[in-house]
Amino acid sequence: MGVDFNLQREFDIIAIGRACIDLNAVEYNRPMEETMTFRKYVGGSPANIAIGISRLGLKAGFIGKLADDQHGRFIRQYMSDAGVDTSHMVIDREGHKTGLAFTEIKSPEECSILMYRDEVADLYLQPSEVSEDYIKRSKILLVSGTALAKSPSREAVLKAVQLARKNDVKVVFELDYRPYTWVSEAETSVYYTFVAEQSDVVIGTRGEYDVMENRQDGKNEETVCHLFGHSPELVVIKHGVDGSYAYTKSGEIFKGQSYKTKVLKTFGAGDSYASAFLYALIKGKDIETALKYGSASAAIVVSKHSSSEAMPTVHEIEQLISERAEEKS
Amino acid sequence: MGVDFNLQREFDIIAIGRACIDLNAVEYNRPMEETMTFRKYVGGSPANIAIGISRLGLKAGFIGKLADDQHGRFIRQYMSDAGVDTSHMVIDREGHKTGLAFTEIKSPEECSILMYRDEVADLYLQPSEVSEDYIKRSKILLVSGTALAKSPSREAVLKAVQLARKNDVKVVFELDYRPYTWVSEAETSVYYTFVAEQSDVVIGTRGEYDVMENRQDGKNEETVCHLFGHSPELVVIKHGVDGSYAYTKSGEIFKGQSYKTKVLKTFGAGDSYASAFLYALIKGKDIETALKYGSASAAIVVSKHSSSEAMPTVHEIEQLISERAEEKS
Amino acid sequence: MGVDFNLQREFDIIAIGRACIDLNAVEYNRPMEETMTFRKYVGGSPANIAIGISRLGLKAGFIGKLADDQHGRFIRQYMSDAGVDTSHMVIDREGHKTGLAFTEIKSPEECSILMYRDEVADLYLQPSEVSEDYIKRSKILLVSGTALAKSPSREAVLKAVQLARKNDVKVVFELDYRPYTWVSEAETSVYYTFVAEQSDVVIGTRGEYDVMENRQDGKNEETVCHLFGHSPELVVIKHGVDGSYAYTKSGEIFKGQSYKTKVLKTFGAGDSYASAFLYALIKGKDIETALKYGSASAAIVVSKHSSSEAMPTVHEIEQLISERAEEKS
Amino acid sequence: MGVDFNLQREFDIIAIGRACIDLNAVEYNRPMEETMTFRKYVGGSPANIAIGISRLGLKAGFIGKLADDQHGRFIRQYMSDAGVDTSHMVIDREGHKTGLAFTEIKSPEECSILMYRDEVADLYLQPSEVSEDYIKRSKILLVSGTALAKSPSREAVLKAVQLARKNDVKVVFELDYRPYTWVSEAETSVYYTFVAEQSDVVIGTRGEYDVMENRQDGKNEETVCHLFGHSPELVVIKHGVDGSYAYTKSGEIFKGQSYKTKVLKTFGAGDSYASAFLYALIKGKDIETALKYGSASAAIVVSKHSSSEAMPTVHEIEQLISERAEEKS
C-alpha cells in the first residue's frame, strides 16, 4: 500500500512548470472593477506545490523558466527563501514576461481569475534546459498539466517524463487544467492521455479527467480501469466539497472527506492538497492518512488571502486533523 | 500665429490609440522586487491626454479597443466618468488583454516601467472600426506613435489620418515612442516619417525625433526644415529639464522653460504637457503661453502618484504659472 | 506634356519587389489537374518590367530578396543575363523560399494562377537593405503594389519611396494588386492610398483603383481628382479590352486602344504594357505614343507562352504599331 | 516469428500523413538551375507507401488533408485510381497549399530535394478529423514521422496511435525524418521516442534512429534494447548500401542485402522498401523473405524516374529476387 519511492534520493520532489505572480485583490468581496489595490504573491500550481512541500520540511527543487525582470527576480528570491532549490530555474533571454493572475473575490463562492499567459517565460522552457542529472537526484518528478499547453515547454516536460522513467523517478501528474493557452480540448486530451499513461500517480478533479478523456460526465471506474492498464499505480480523483477518492492498482478505494472551514476564496486549494498528500506518501503514511493531510492543508489555505504564502506547516495540518477528530468523537 | 482650428466642430480632440492600466508601486523609493502592493490607474499616453483635456473643460473623444474583461470595463467607466466620450471605444472579442505598466520608482531620477504589451487589445483596433463620421466631428485628431507599432492598429491609425486630412481635421502627432512592440528602429522611422509629414502639429522629445530620423544627435533645425517641407505648421521639440522649443512654419521659434517642482516620478510628464499645451492652442492663446501651460501641467503631474488621476484643472495650472511669475519678479 | 525625368541619372528604372518563378503548363488548353509538365520562367511583375525595360535597351536595376537555393540562383542569373543590374538583389539567409506561380491555361479566356506565396523570400526584404546611394542613381523608382502586402517588405518599399522623393527620383506605382497575402482590402486601401498620393505616375486597372479606394464601380474622374490633389502628375487607368486612359495633372486625357492579337493567355499583359509605356516616356515620346507602345507590347506577350522571356524588342513593338497603322489606312 | 495481425480487418494498411507533389527534373544529370522542365507526380512517404501497397494487391486507406486546389484534386484522383481508399482524405478550407518537392538529380550519388513545406495542408490535419471507426477497420496503422513535425497534424497522429492501440491495430512507425519543419532535433527526439515506444514495428535508417535518440553513432543493440523494453516487437534498421537488419523481441536478428541496380536517383527507395516489406509480413512470409521483398522493391524504384508511379507489382519484385538468386547460384 502506498507508493514505493527510491529513498536514496536527495530531493523529495522536483517540480516542473510555471512559477508566476498572483495579484490578489486587497479590497475583496466586490467585482475586480472596484478593486483598486493588488498584493503580489508567488503563484502557479507547481511553484505552490514546491513551496508547500518545502514548508512541510521536505526537500524540493524546481525546473522552470523565469522572465529577466523584477517579477522574475522576485520569484526566484521568494522560492529560494522558502527553501526550494532554484538552481535549475533558468532565465529567459528573449524578453518573455512573467505570467500574471489577477484574482477577483466577489464572495467565497464567486472567485475568478484574470490571467496573463501570452508569451510568458515559463512556456519557453526548452528540452535542452531539462537536466537528466538533476531529475535523477529526486524521488518524484511533479508534472503540472499546464506546462504541456504549448511548445517548447510541452517538449521540455515530455522529455522530463522520459528521463524520470528511465531513472526510476516516480512521475506524479497533477492535471492542473487551465483552458487558456490550449488550442482545443482535443489537443489537451492527446497529451494528458499520453502523460497520464506514463505516470505513477495521477491527481486531478473529476472535471479534469473528463477533459483528458474528451468526454462529459465520465465515470471514475472507467478512468481508473484505463489508467491501470498502463503505468499508474495510484489515481486520485477529487469531487470538490464531496471529497476525493484514491484508487490503487491493487483494487483498493479510499474516500477522503473535506474539512469545513471559513472560506475566503477557493484558489490554492488544489496545490495545498497536493503538497500535503504527497508529503504524507513520502513519509510512508497510508493513503487514508494522506487524504486527511491533503484535505486539512486545503482547508487552511482557502481561509487565507494567498496561496503560496499560506502553505501550512506539518504542525498546523496535524493540529487541524486532531481538532476535527475530537469534535467528531 | 498659433493653429487655426475648425471652430464649428463639436469635439476639441479625438484621440486614437491605447487605453491601458498602470499599476503604480504603493511602496516606492525601492526596487520593484521589494514592492508588494500596486495601485491601479488608467494609463496610456492618448488616454491620459484625453482625460487631461477633459479635466481642462474641453470635449474629448476616444477611438480605441478594450479587452472584454474587468480591466477593460474599469477603463471605460473611468474615462466616461472623467467626461471623455467613449462611444467609439470598441470591445475586443478575441480574448486579447489590457496592456499593463508596472511602475518602479527607485528615486525621482530612477523610474522604470515593466510593460505587458503582448497581444494587447489596443493593438487589435481594425481600420473598419475607425469611423469617418466620428472623426469629422472634431477639431483635432490626436495620434499616439505607439499605436503605429503593430498591425492592424497601425492601419487603423493610418486610415484615421487619411480621414482627418480629407475632412479638415487637424492632425496632432505625439511621437510617444516606446521601443517594445516595434520590430526595429528602421520600421519606426518609416511610419513616423510618413505620419509626421502628414500632420499639422508634431510633438516629441529630441530623442523621439532622432528615432524618426533613424539617426543620433539630430539637430532641431534639420528636423523642422524637413517637416516644414510637408504638412506641419507647428513642431514642438522637448529637451527635458532644458525646456522645450516650438517652431512655426513661418519661422518663429519659442522657448519654453520647465518649472521646478518636487518630483515624485517622471511618468505622465509628456501626457500632461500635451494636454495643457493643446488646451491653450485650442483656446486661442499664443504659443508662448501654450508652452507655459504645458510646463506647468507637467510640473504638477510629476509631483503626484498617478498620471491620469493627477491631471490638473485650468485653475491649478494658472495658479502655478502666476505663483512662479511672482517669485521671479 | 509627358513627365520630366532627371536625365543625368545612370539608371532608367530601378524596380523594387518580387522576382519569382512561373511554372507554365507545357500541355495547355486543359485544367491543371491534367497538365503533367511545367516549364520554368522568371516571373513577378517588377522583375518582368525590369527585364522588359532591359530588352528595350534601357538600363534597369532591381532591389529585392532571393531565396538561397537553386531557384534563387536561377533568377539572379537569368536577370543578369537579360542585362538587369542585380547588385542590390540580396540573398535571404533564413530559409525563405522563392515564390511560385503555376499557371493554368484552360483557354485564352480562362487562365488562372496557383500561387505559392507563404514565407517567400521577396517579402522579407528589410528597410536596411534599401540603399539611398543606389536609388539616387536612377530616373525612376518602380514600385509594385504586391511588395506592400507584408512586413518587412512593406517598410522596405515605403522607405524606398521616401528616399526617391528626397532625391528627385520619379516614383512610378504599378498597383499590381494580388489578393493573397493581404489581410483585408481595408489594409490594402490604406497603403495603396499613401503610396499613390506620394507617387508621380500611377498605373493600374480600374479594378485595382477600386481596391485602393475601397469601393466598387469607382469613377475615373473621382480617382484622378483625388490623386491630382497630391503628388501624381500622370495617372493611367486600364479598362482591359476597352483600352486604357492616361490623365495628366494639367487636364489632358488620352485614350489608348488595345491591339487585337491571337491570345494564348492573359498573363504578363500588364507587365509588358508598363515596360513599353515607361520606355516611351523615358525616351521623351508623347503620351499618345507611349500608350501605343504599351498596347503593342502587351499584344505581343499575350500571344506567347511566357511573360519574361516573351518581352519584345523596340523593333518588334514598332513593327506591330506600323503594321496595324497600315491595316487601318 | 513475424507479426500477428488481426486478419479479420478489411484494410491491410491505413497510412496517415502527407500526400504531396513531386516535381521531378525532366532534364537531369545537371544542377537544378539548368533544369527547365519538371514532371508532376504524387509524392510524400505515406502516400507512396499506400500506393505501393495497393500496387501489390493489398487494400490501403489514407488519412490526410489536401489543399482545395488543382494539386489537391490531382492527388486525390491519382490515389483513388491507384486503388487507395481516399474517403478519409479531407479538404483544407483555410487556403493551405500542397507540399512540393522539386528534385535535383546531378548524378545517382548527388540527389537533393528543394522542399516547399510552409503552411502545407497536410500539417493542418486536426485530431477531430481522425476517425476511430475508420482506424479500427485496419490491420495496420502506418505512421510517418514527418506528420509529427507540427501541430495540429502532430496531435492528429498521436490520437491515431492512441486509437490504434485501443483497437488492436498494429502501429508501424516509419521514422521518415526530414529536418525542415521541425524546430530542433531535441523536439524530434521527444516525439519519435514516445511514438516508437508505443509502436509494434519501427522502420528507419541508422541515422534516423540517431535523431530519435538525440545522439550520434548510436548502436543498434542499444536501440533495440531500449525499444524492446516497450511495445515494439520488430525493429528494422537500414544501413544504406550495407543492407538492413531486422530485430525481433524474441532475440532474432536478420540481415537483408541490397540488390545492385542501375541507379537513376535515390528518392523513393525507403517508401518502396517499406511497402514491399510490409506486404510480405501481411502475407505471412518470414522476416528473411520480407527483407528481400523490401530490397527488391527499392532496387526497382531507384532505377526509375518517379517514386509513386514506379512502385512495382508483386510479379516484378519476385522476378528480380529469383533472377538474382539464379545469378548467385
Quote the pLDDT of residue D240: 84
Round the CA-based radius of gyration of chain A to a whole number and report it. 18
Quote the pLDDT of residue D285: 96
- Chain A, nearest residue to B74 by Cα: A33
Cell numbers that stand for D250 in this block: 524474441
Inter-chain contact D38–C40, Cβ cutoff 8 Å? yes
Task: Inform me whether the pLDDT recorded for C328 exceeds 80.
Answer: no
Helices (H), A171-286: 185-197, 206-213, 220-227, 269-282
The pLDDT tens digits of the residues spanning A165-201 come to: 999 999 999 999 999 899 999 999 999 999 999 999 9
Q: Are strands B234-238 and B244-248 parallel, antiparallel or unpaired?
A: antiparallel
Q: Among partner residues A155, A159, A187, which is closest to D155 by beta-carbon distance?
A: A187
| Residue B114 neighbours by CB under 8 Å, 6+ apart | A69, A70, A71, B32, B101, B102, B103, B104
User: What CA–CA distance (Å, rounded) separates C7 from C2?
Assistant: 14
Quote the pLDDT of residue C1: 54
Cell 510480405 locates to D280
Q: Is D249 left (phi over 0), alpha (psi -120 to 50) or beta?
A: alpha
User: What CA–CA distance (Å, rounded) separates D156 from D138?
Assistant: 17
Q: What is the overall mean pLDDT for chain C?
A: 95
Q: Using an 8 Å CB-CB cutoff, list residues of chain A that contact chain B.
A: 23, 26, 31-33, 35-40, 69-71, 73-74, 77, 95, 97, 100, 102, 104, 114, 116, 118-119, 180
DSSP annotation of B214 reads T
Quote the pLDDT of residue B192: 98
Quote the pLDDT of residue A254: 97
Q: How far is A306 from chain B (nearest CA, A)?
A: 13
3-state secondary structure of B171: strand
Q: What is the overall mean pLDDT for chain B?
A: 95
Task: Inform me whether the pLDDT recorded for D327 exceeds 90.
Answer: no
Q: How far is A188 from chain D (nearest CA, A)?
A: 9
DSSP annotation of D2 reads -
Q: Are strands D201-205 and D234-238 parallel, antiparallel or unpaired?
A: parallel
**Residue D125 dihedral angles phi and psi, to the nearest 5°:** -60, 130
Cell numbers that stand for C65 in this block: 530578396
3-state secondary structure of C299: helix
The pLDDT tens digits of the residues spanning B65-89 come to: 999 999 999 999 999 999 999 999 9
The pLDDT tens digits of the residues spanning B282-315 come to: 999 999 999 999 999 999 999 998 889 999 999 9
The pLDDT tens digits of the residues spanning C291-306 come to: 999 999 999 999 998 8
Q: How many CA atoms lie within 13 A of C202 on its CB side?
A: 32
User: What CA–CA distance (Å, rounded) separates C313 from C298?
Assistant: 12
Cell numbers that stand for B96 in this block: 486579447
Which residues in chain D have their CB less than 8 angstroms from residue A189's CB?
127, 159
ipTM: 0.94
Query: Residues C207-233: what's their mean pLDDT?
Result: 96
Query: Residues B267-273: what's their mean pLDDT?
Result: 92
Cell numbers that stand for A185 in this block: 480540448
DSSP conformation letters of A265-312: --TTHHHHHHHHHHHHHHTT--HHHHHHHHHHHHHHHHTSS-SSTTPP
Query: Is the separation of the CB atoms in D232 and D203 below 8 Å?
Result: no
The pLDDT tens digits of the residues spanning A268-306 come to: 899 999 999 999 999 999 999 999 999 999 999 999 988
Q: How far is B201 from chain C (nearest CA, A)?
A: 19
Q: Using an 8 Å CB-CB cutoff, list residues of chain A that contact chain D.
A: 126-128, 151-152, 155, 158-159, 162, 183-184, 186-187, 189-191, 193-194
Residue count of chain A: 329
User: What CA–CA distance (Å, rounded) separates D287 from A304?
Assistant: 66
- Whole-angstrom CA distances from A190 to A150, A155, D193 are 13, 14, 16
Query: Nearest-CA neighbor of A135 among A101, A159, A111, A105?
Result: A159
User: What CA–CA distance (Å, rounded) separates A140 from A4?
Assistant: 11
Task: Inform me whether the pLDDT recorded for B47 exceeds 60.
Answer: yes
Query: Nearest-CA neighbor of D134 among D164, D165, D171?
Result: D164
Query: Is the separation of the CB atoms in A31 and A107 below 8 Å?
Result: no
User: What CA–CA distance (Å, rounded) separates B74 from B21?
Assistant: 9
Inter-chain contact B151–C151, Cβ cutoff 8 Å? yes
Beta-ladder partners of A143: A16, A173
Helices (runs of H) and strands (runs of E) counted in chain B: 10, 13
Q: What angle do CA B134, B137, B138 make, to 5 degrees?
A: 105
Chains B and D touch (3+ CB pairs under 8 A): no
User: What CA–CA distance (Å, rounded) separates C87 from C62?
Assistant: 8
Which residues in chain D have their CB less than 8 angstroms from residue A126's CB?
186
Quote the pLDDT of residue D1: 54
Quote the pLDDT of residue A1: 54
- Whole-angstrom CA distances from D15 to C216, D3, D238 are 48, 18, 21
Contacts for D189-194: CB closer than 8 Å, 24+ residues apart: D189/A127, D189/A159, D189/D213, D189/D214, D190/A127, D190/A155, D190/A158, D190/A159, D190/A162, D191/A155, D191/A158, D191/D148, D191/D154, D192/D145, D192/D148, D193/A162, D194/A158, D194/A162, D194/A194, D194/D158
Share of chain D above pLDDT 70, in %: 100
Confidence category of residue B120, pLDDT binned at 50, 70, 90: very high
Which residues in chain C have their CB less than 8 angstroms from residue B126's CB?
186
User: What CA–CA distance (Å, rounded) separates C34 from C26?
Assistant: 11
Q: Among partner residues B36, B69, B114, which is closest to A114 by beta-carbon distance?
A: B69
Tell me which chains share at least 3 CB pairs under 8 Å with chain B: A, C
Q: State which H helix or E strand residue D247 sits in.
A: strand D244-248
DSSP conformation letters of C128-183: GG--HHHHTTEEEEEEEGGGGSSTTHHHHHHHHHHHHHHTTPEEEEE----STT-S
Q: How far is A194 from chain D (nearest CA, A)?
A: 8
Q: Which residues of A108-127 are buried (b: 16+ CB within 10 A; e: fewer)?
A: eeebbbbbbbbbbbbbbbbb
Say whether pTM exceeds 0.90. Answer: yes
Query: Is the separation of the CB atoms in D125 and D65 below 8 Å?
Result: yes
Tell me which chains share at least 3 CB pairs under 8 Å with chain C: B, D
For the ranges B103-107, C38-42, C167-171, which has the lowest average pLDDT? B103-107
Query: Is the separation of the CB atoms in D42 and D75 below 8 Å?
Result: yes
Query: Is the separation of the CB atoms in A53 and A279 below 8 Å?
Result: yes
Q: Count of CB atoms within 10 A of residue D225's CB?
A: 11
The pLDDT tens digits of the residues spanning C137-172 come to: 999 999 999 999 999 999 999 999 999 999 999 999
Quote the pLDDT of residue D265: 86
Q: How far is D91 from chain C (nearest CA, A)?
A: 16
